[in-house]
A and B are shown apart, each in its own frame.
Chain A
Amino acid sequence: MQSYIDQLIQDGYFTGVPREVVYAIAMVLVAFIVLSVFVAPLAGVTSWLERRVWARMQSRIGPNRVGPQGILQWLADGIKNLLKEDLIPSAADSKLFSLAPYVVFVGFLCTFVVVPFGSTLIVADLDIGILYVLAVTSLVVVGILMAGWASNNKWSLLGGMRSAAQIVSYEIPAGLSVLTIVFLAGTLSMQGIIKSQGWAPWDWYLFNNPFTFAAFFLYFTAALAEGNRTPFDIPEAESELVAGYVTEYSGMRFLFFFFAEWGNLYVIGAVATTLFLGGWQVPPVTDDAILLGVLQFIVFFLKAYLWVFIAMWVRATLPRVRVDQLMALCWKYMVPLSFLCLLGTICWMLAFPNGNQIFSVAMFVLGLLILAYFLKRVLFQIRHARPELYFKPHI
């Protein structure tokens, strides 16, 4: 994108204005566009979709009144929250209390700078792409701790402490799984990682070797834990801590935390797609640049959103783990397994310097077999319970 701005300056659009100011204005403008056109509706529609998916999995209908099939529910919720009274408890630290939601929001929004929507559709292709994402998402810990402490409420404090421990611990398996891929790709830049994969499933890093296959699930679990999603939603465990660190928040501040959570789901999906699923790679069907760009955008979006759907599905299925079990899971199970995957991938790279096409195809077939077995179990459940079937997603 920087080259585009340079081109505009050379064409003489911004005479008399210093170069840095043009860059600054461009950055703010782009951030605003990305935020309002993409992130806000995305987080909103994700919240609506989560409620619909949850509801259908629980044999009920979700919100379906506001707008066609309820798709504007998030607008109604947003407006309602904006109109609410801005309550700050008198004994709370009001500066930190007000600042905390924004810190959390910044922590997740900054990752959109390096999310590659297409081969040229990226805000800034940083050389340290994936490391930047890992670093910036840790900012939410600061925000959550601020929220927990500034609320002056014992429940919030408990929630904030738990969350800090959780997020910091799960950075390690996530980072190690990412490192596995970085070794394979040879670069930290997001576009570089995608370019070193291909469009066919057996060219993806997911099926490259059994260690990356395991690393993917480790990454996804660790990312769910970082995003405070069930089964790891202890900081906001409704039934235990009332609402954890968001207990004292109401109105728009409350919504900011959840805005960040739903948006973060998309970031998790986007990073998972970039690293493991081949990103925006499409088979070369057309030469037209714009059509190719649109196709890449759609493919990337669908792949990332698949993982958002799976995160919602996991939330509907699983109970919560306890805090000490969460720590045990991280340090006793996931960290050693991540190290194992890393070492395994390195050994694999030494054994097959140019990759092993046969093994990749075999892994792909294995993946398909697991999917087929899953569908078989689904059919078994339907046959066993003999329910009334209804295939349309809308009511």
Chain B
Amino acid sequence: MGVASYIKDIKDTVTSVFEGMAITFSHLVRRPMTIQYPDKIPVPIQETLPRRYRGILEVDMDICTGCLACERVCPITCITIGIDMNKETKQRQFTHFDIDICKCMYCGLCAEACPTGSIRHSQEFEGASYNPAGLVRHFVTQPAALYKPKKGGETDPKLAAKVDTGLKYLDEFATPDGGAAAGEE
């Protein structure tokens, strides 16, 4: 190799190293991007997550109609629902409603399929447990009745509030157009 390329090699090395070191030095005065979770943050992190965040599933049993749409649409069969007939009241009731959060893919198809918005994604994401049994969420502890939606709106104020929350969730999450939030366009 000639003297010219020898000197050029040396010059290139020195200048590129110089430039690289200037960049890393300039990073010393920049704010680090680490969020020191969970203790050094002003608000709990669950409140900073966006509206549509697909966290761990939760079911509001008071407004669940037992239509089994979520169980059918789930691609990984993580939802197991049991419904049988109550001998005394001749009404159908839930025996169990289990969601295996470790199998769940957090895809959101069940929340989109629900007619009342009772199965929802919460903002929770810390679901670790010390034993595998803790990873199955049981939403029915004792047999409970199915919800029957009333024509003309719900009259019971507590249930009405829950129905509202469910429908609002469906509107924001399950409507592709973004529902009311996109209405200003």
Contacts and interface: CB of A to CB of B under 8 A. Distances in A.
Q: Do A and B come from one complex?
A: yes
A40 interface: no
B52 to A, nearest CB: 27
Contact of B32 (A317, A378, A379, A390): A390
Interface string A288-329: 000000000000000000000000011011100000000000
B28 A56 contact: yes
A343 to B, nearest CB: 17
B18 A59 contact: no
B29 interface: yes
A326 to B, nearest CB: 13
B30 A317 contact: no
Contacts of A313: 21, 24-25
A56 B29 CA distance: 8
Interface residues on B, range: 20 to 34
A58 B30 CA distance: 10
Contacts of A385: 26, 30
A59 B36 contact: no
B24 A57 contact: yes
Q: Interface of chain A, helix or strand or loop or mixed?
A: helix
A59 B25 contact: no
Contacts, number: 73
B17 interface: yes
A380 B26 CA distance: 9
A395 interface: yes
B128 interface: no
B142 interface: no
Nearest to A329: B13
A169 to B, nearest CB: 18
Contacts of B22: 374, 377-378, 380-381
B18 A377 contact: yes
Interface residues of A, number: 29
> Which of B17, B19, B26 neighbours the largest number of chain A CB atoms within 10 Å of its CB?
B26
A388 B20 contact: no
B8 interface: no
Contact of A55 (B19, B32, B36): B32
Contacts of A377: 18-19, 22
Contact of A61 (B18, B21, B27, B34): B34
A58 B26 CA distance: 10
A318 B31 CA distance: 22
B25 A388 contact: no
B24 A390 contact: no
A32 interface: no
B23 A381 contact: yes
Given A313-B25, A317-B17, A60 B30 contact: no
A222 to B, nearest CB: 15
A318 B17 contact: yes
A66 B161 CA distance: 48
B40 to A, nearest CB: 8
Interface in B1-49: 6, 9-10, 17-34, 36
B47 to A, nearest CB: 22
A73 B179 CA distance: 51
Contacts of B27: 56-59
Interface in A108-143: none
6 contacts: A317-B21, A333-B6, A382-B26, A385-B26, A385-B30, A395-B32
Interface of B: 6, 9-10, 17-34, 36
Interface of A: 53, 55-61, 313-314, 316-318, 333, 374, 377-382, 385, 387-391, 393, 395
